[in-house]
Structures are given as structure tokens and as C-alpha cells.
Amino acid sequence: MSKLKVDLDVKVPERLLKSWIETRQAIIHALGYSWHGYDVFATHRGYHIYIYIKEKLPDEEENNVQFLLGDDHHRFKINSWRIARGVKRWNKLFHEVIYRRKRKAIVCPSCKFEIDLG
């Protein structure tokens, strides 16, 4: 059995979350895997969702399937690096912010309007 982890960084109404879960189930079946269940945990920004499938997947395939299920694309990239380096516990979900990049912005000197540059 594999435990797939999806970091969903948006809060949605319960009925929409239910539909989102149903579409994940359809994706699992379309990929040829067997749905076993799921757990949802609310976070500050959204949800951590654990999806259980009956098949045991290799690490790289597990990461790919998580991405296809809607996992955060930055987490996918970081997990890919962890797998390539042979990190044993590569598939982590964090419940708190451990790093926050400094924002780049331009502030208009006359009106003080701030433009975020990402």
C-alpha cells in the first residue's frame, strides 16, 4: 500500500472539497491503481490530504502521481531532488512554514503603491 500526500494550499467549501476528492479517485482509477481511502487534515492555508492506494509504488512514481493529483509543484520539485539524492524520508508535509522567501517589490515613491515582483 502507498500513502500519497497532497498539499492543497487553498480553503474551499466542503461540497467542493468532496468533489475534488471524487476527481482524485477518478484519476487514481484512470492511472490503473486501486483506491483504498483518504484522510483530510485542515491547515492554516488549506489541506493536507493523504490518499491511500493498494499498490506499493516506487518513490519516483509516487512523487509523479502526487503531482498528477494536484500536489504543490514546488513540493514536487523538492521531492524529486530528495529522491535523486537518496533521502529515505523524502515525502514530508509540513504543518508550519519553515522558510519564507523575502519578497521582491517596487514601491512607488509618490503614491506608496507596492508592486510585487514575485
Q: What is the pLDDT of residues 40-84, one digit of tens each?
A: 999 988 999 999 999 999 999 999 999 999 998 988 999 999 999
pLDDT in tens, 5-20: 999 999 999 999 999 9
Q: Tell whether 115 is covered by a domain.
A: no
Give the C-alpha separation, 61 to 30, whole Å. Answer: 15
Q: Tell whether 118 is covered by a domain.
A: no
Q: Tell whether 63 is covered by a domain.
A: yes
CATH code assigned at 13: 3.30.70
Considering its fold, how many domains does the chain have in total?
1
Q: Tell whether 10 is covered by a domain.
A: yes
Place of cell 487553498: 10
Cell of residue 88, nine digits: 529515505
pTM: predicted TM-score of the whole model, two decimal places: 0.77
